[in-house]
């Protein structure tokens, strides 16, 4: 289930009507309040990234270039001793993803030296993932990791992801201050929507990095 603009109550109410035509105020309030609070965490993280790269002059442009989408996901228990893939290995295509989950393990991240490691968050932990669009905007300074969900055992896994997404029409382009001889431009400017569309094509799905294939220099 995916809710666009989940930090805006009217948008959540409109979506909720599809599931509960008579309305569900408690669901709406919970979703909106969760999204609003985590959007502040997202903004803190992005401000820290922009500052740490010394490109504060792009702060407003960057902060105003995004929307939020909330996704609620259920991974069924395999009900056998075999490990089953819940979600194939991928990089997120957006800016930042903030994940929260129940206490059923399954999320794995590929380290830069090629090892799959388990993510095992405590109930008071969020997992923050950088997506391809922020990786490209920082001209590769920040890594967007491959991750996947592997299910075993007999309990379902639930996760909730808040995805920060570039607004339609916004062109993702690394600030010129992040491009120099030591750091040549890695990706041509691109539209997130067009990149997503490419990533779902046969070519986009079979290449190792949809981002590199789509707009790599």
Ligand X SMILES: O=C(O)CCC(=O)C(=O)O
- By a kind-dependent CB cut-off of 5 to 8 A, residue 98 interacts, out of Fe ion, ligand X, none, with none
d(CA 201, CA 197): 7
Which phi-psi region, left, alpha or beta, contains residue 38 (left: φ > 0; alpha: ψ -120 to 50)? Answer: alpha
20-28, 99-107, 165-173, 204-212 -> range binding ligand X (CB under 6 A): 99-107
Is residue 149 close enough to count as binding ligand X by CB under 6 A? yes
Q: Which is nearer to ligand X, 120 or 177 (CB)?
A: 120
Among Fe ion, ligand X, none, what does residue 131 contact (CB within 5–8 Å per kind)?
none
Among 28, 107, 144, 178, binds ligand X (CB under 6 A): 107
The distance of closest approach from Cβ of residue 34 to ligand X in the complex, given in angstroms and rounded to an integer, is 16
- Answer yes or no whether residue 42 interacts with Fe ion by CB under 5 A: no
Of the candidate spans 14-22, 37-45, 92-100, 182-190, the one that interacts with Fe ion by CB under 5 A turns out to be 92-100
Nearer to Fe ion among residue 42 and residue 92 (C-beta): 92
For position 92 contacting Fe ion by CB under 5 A, the verdict is: yes
132 is a site residue for ligand X (CB under 6 A): no
Q: Which option in Fe ion, ligand X, none does residue 73 bind, with CB closer than 5 to 8 A by kind? A: ligand X
Task: Please state, in angstroms and as integers, the Cα–Cα distance from residue 68 to each residue in 34, 38, 61, 111, 208, following that order.
Answer: 12, 10, 16, 27, 27
Which partner, ligand X, Fe ion, none, binds residue 160 by CB below 5 to 8 Å per kind?
none
Contact residue for ligand X among 7, 35, 159, 199 (CB under 6 A): 159
Q: What angle do CA 147, 152, 157 make, to 5 degrees?
A: 70
Contact positions toward ligand X, by CB under 6 A?
A: 71, 73, 87, 92, 99, 101, 107, 147, 149, 159, 161
């Amino acid at each position: 289930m995916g809710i666009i603009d989940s930090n805006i109550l009217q948008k959540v109410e409109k979506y909720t009507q599809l599931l509960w035509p008579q309305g569900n105020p408690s669901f709406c309030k919970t979703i909106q309040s969760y999204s609003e609070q985590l959007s502040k965490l997202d903004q803190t993280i992005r401000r820290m990234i922009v500052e740490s790269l010394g490109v504060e002059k792009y702060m407003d442009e960057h902060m105003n270039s995004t929307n939020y989408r909330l996704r609620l996901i259920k991974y069924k228990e395999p009900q056998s001793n075999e490990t089953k893939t819940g979600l194939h290995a991928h990089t997120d295509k957006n800016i930042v993803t903030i994940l929260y989950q129940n206490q059923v393990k399954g999320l794995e991240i590929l380290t830069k030296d090629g090892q799959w490691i388990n993510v095992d968050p405590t109930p008071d932990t969020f997992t923050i993932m950088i997506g391809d669009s922020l990786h490209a905007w920082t001209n590769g300074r920040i890594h967007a990791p491959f991750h996947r969900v592997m299910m075993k055992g007999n309990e379902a896994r639930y996760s909730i992801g808040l995805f920060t997404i570039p607004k339609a029409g916004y062109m993702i382009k690394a600030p010129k201050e992040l491009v120099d001889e030591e750091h040549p431009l890695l990706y041509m400017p691109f539209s997130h929507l067009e990149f997503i569309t490419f990533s779902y094509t046969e070519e986009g799905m079979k290449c190792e990095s949809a981002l590199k294939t789509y707009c790599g220099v």
